[in-house]
Chain A
């Protein structure tokens, strides 16, 4: 399955040893794996998306797609294999319309709700097994549009488990309502209520007169700042942004709308602005089992420079983003975005216009990077405020619960 990376980790006496299979999307340089994937996609009747442009040799094991060639161009619309809401979702992912860890997970869950509503069990089949099989090509399709995030992977694991746990005597309507309620509860508990709990803890850490630095657009951090402002804390915010995504502008808009006084700089001006800063709040894409924080590229740089200026770094992350993977650098597992995004037109001239024609020139547009735990002072989760190294403890507690 395409979710081999999220299978059970070695947990000693708790469960038998399961050897993890490396996910396909970090083995693009292995032709056998690519062939296997192509065969699987053919079986599921999903088109294979081809790579674009010259890939930097350090990242030849990852995919690199162009936004101008979405997967839907190779699909016949309306598709008989893939549910239309999934097709729409895939397109929204690949074009960057739905971006951000929480947004993507919530959109995914809503799309799955629609799929479940429209689902009818074929005769002589059990809902618990057939629905799971129906979801597999959808997941492959979404993976082709944009590699799944850790939070999406955990959500899918949860749904699959819920579906397989439906008893066989259960009537279809009842089963479907039960599943829809499960999904709603998941969103409510893991995302909405978690955000409230995290805000409560985080607001204790914000004092009057603080100057808070945030990076990019994290829905959770924006929520915390807006809540703190509602509770009449006096602080100002510095939004740091970076090319080529420039997500900070969205965060800036949201904060300014609420009336929070903001400053805006690019990441290269970090050393200039940090002496004014009292705290740094960062969002996370996933928290890895060895304590590393996987987040938008540039986060590790901010944490490094903040550490040099002795500014505390606080990471805010819901527990459903905790991941059993381990990673020490930003190369082995990452995502490559469209390299054309790096081009810029200044004073009417685009320097890198014909970069494809020059054989020794490559553009690298990384999406994620990992921050070592010694740069992070505190992680604020819905279970409380923990140090970075306590992530495997939380995972174990979660496994016991389930």
Chain B
């Protein structure tokens, strides 16, 4: 039966995706950027919408929520997966509301009346069947995909507004978004870039070779020299893994030192992060915030006997509080960290914050 084939095909794809997620996080699989991750998740969600069996919006949301839970459990540190699931859930809610004909404003308003009668309202929704809902949802997901494709370009287009000539810009590690940002500015302006190599993975080296190839004056420094050279730096432009709900960052380790050094010298700290990195998590969840990789990156096995007598840590992420950040540049423009909560309410529905 064609229906059953499609189902098994779908489950196979989901399982393959989950296995990929698990492997990619441990550092053994190929390193993928968050943009790729977001796109793959959205493709998969579109496929689920198209091929899974569902009759009402509520069913579809249940299916997607289940799959989303499994995906985030496979790799908790990869937050873009969860973010895309929440975006799609919001899309489904919007399309359902549009099909029902009710205006969207009444849904959004948090009146006292709504709060008191909240219980009954959320129950009765999403059970009606609409014929064109599937087509509408898939079209909206396609729009989301076009948006994802254009994020890096949208951010890079804003480069000339922020970088002037003869500036010294510092960056940490490797971020594809920041690389595109700087390369775009380099077409018209001449400036220097200092790249902190970000041990132990030393991704800064790749960034430096990429930037110097297009003729940008680049200098590679060790992490220890960040404070020493910060007095000569005009701006710090970095990327991040996740933007948290309070406007803080979960970025590669070493970023907090950079942020503190920048604050000490009153240097602006600019974050280039596309909107799909915005996550409704808060930094208080101790056990899910940090991620560690094998300590042999820090102290190799060749160190010998002392390995059995010492503790070695190799954390991957750092928390940067929102007070240290000057500006977020995303594909929808520039924002202050204090505005992040508002952007989040536009992207995700509050009930989807916990999948």
- Whether, in the assembled complex, B199 has its beta carbon less than 8 Å from a beta carbon of chain A, the answer is yes
Q: Which of these, B205, B228, B299, B315, contacts A369 with CB under 8 Å?
A: B228
Q: Judging by beta carbons under 8 Å apart, are B227 and A369 in contact? A: yes
Q: Are A268 and B312 in contact (CB under 8 A)?
A: no
Known A297-B224, A364-B220, A369-B227; judge A249-B202 contact (CB<8 A).
no
Residue of A nearest to B217 (CB): A360
- Asked if B232 CB lies within 8 Å of chain A CBs, one says yes
Inter-chain contact B209/A351, CB cutoff 8 Å: yes
Contact across chains for A301 and B213 when beta carbons are under 8 A apart: no
- Known A-B contacts A269-B314, A329-B231; A361 and B221 likewise in contact (beta carbons under 8 Å): no
Asked whether, in the complex, the Cβ of B225 is within 8 Å of the Cβ of A366, the reply is yes
* Stretch from A25-33, A259-267, A392-400 forming part of the interface with B: A259-267
Q: Which residues from A are CB-within-8-Å of B227?
A: 300-301, 304, 369
| Complex partner residue of B228 from A266, A300, A360, CB under 8 angstroms | A300
| Residues 334-384 (chain A) with a chain B CB within 8 angstroms | 342, 344, 346, 351-352, 355, 358, 360-366, 369-370
Report, as a range, how many residues of chain B touch the other chain. 35 or more
In B174-214, the 8 Å CB interface with A consists of 197-202, 205-206, 208-209, 212-213
**Across the interface, which residues of A come within 8 angstroms of B60, CB to CB?**
none
Which B residues are CB-close (under 8 A) to A360?
Answer: 212, 215-218
Instruction: Assess whether B19 is interfacial by the CB under 8 Å rule.
Output: no
Chain A 35-61, CB-CB to B under 8 Å as 1, else 0, gives: 000000000000000000000101000
- When the two chains form their complex, are residues B222 and A351 in contact, meaning their CB atoms are under 8 A apart? no
Q: Is B298 an interface residue (CB 8 A)?
A: yes
Query: In the complex, what's the smallest C-beta–C-beta distance from B231 to chain A, in angstroms?
Result: 5
A residues within 8 A CB of B208?
Answer: 352, 361
B16 at the interface (CB under 8 A from A): no
Chain B residue contacts of A244, Cβ below 8 A: 222
The residue from B219, B221, B264, B313 contacting A263, defined by CB atoms under 8 A apart: B313
Nearest neighbor of A262 in chain B, beta-carbon distance: B310
A331: interface (CB < 8 Å): yes
Kindly specify which of A65-73, A81-89, A270-278 makes contact with the partner chain: A270-278
User: Pick the contact of B223 from A242, A329, A331 — CB < 8 Å?
Assistant: A242
Given A263-B312, A268-B257, check contact A56 B219 (CB 8 Å).
yes
Bound-complex Cα distance A268 to B204 (A): 13
User: In the complex, A330 Cα to B230 Cα: how many Å?
Assistant: 10
CB of A252 closer than 8 Å to a CB of B: yes
Q: Which of B197, B225, B264, B315 contacts A272, CB < 8 Å?
A: B315
Whether, in the assembled complex, B95 has its beta carbon less than 8 Å from a beta carbon of chain A, the answer is: no
With A and B bound together, what is the CA distance between A244 and B221 in angstroms? Answer: 10
13 contacts between A and B (CB under 8 A): A262-B310, A266-B314, A267-B224, A268-B198, A269-B253, A272-B290, A273-B313, A301-B226, A352-B209, A360-B215, A361-B212, A362-B220, A364-B220
Q: Which residues of A contact B (CB under 8 A)?
A: 56, 58, 242-244, 249, 252-253, 256, 261-273, 296-298, 300-301, 304-305, 308, 329-331, 342, 344, 346, 351-352, 355, 358, 360-366, 369-370
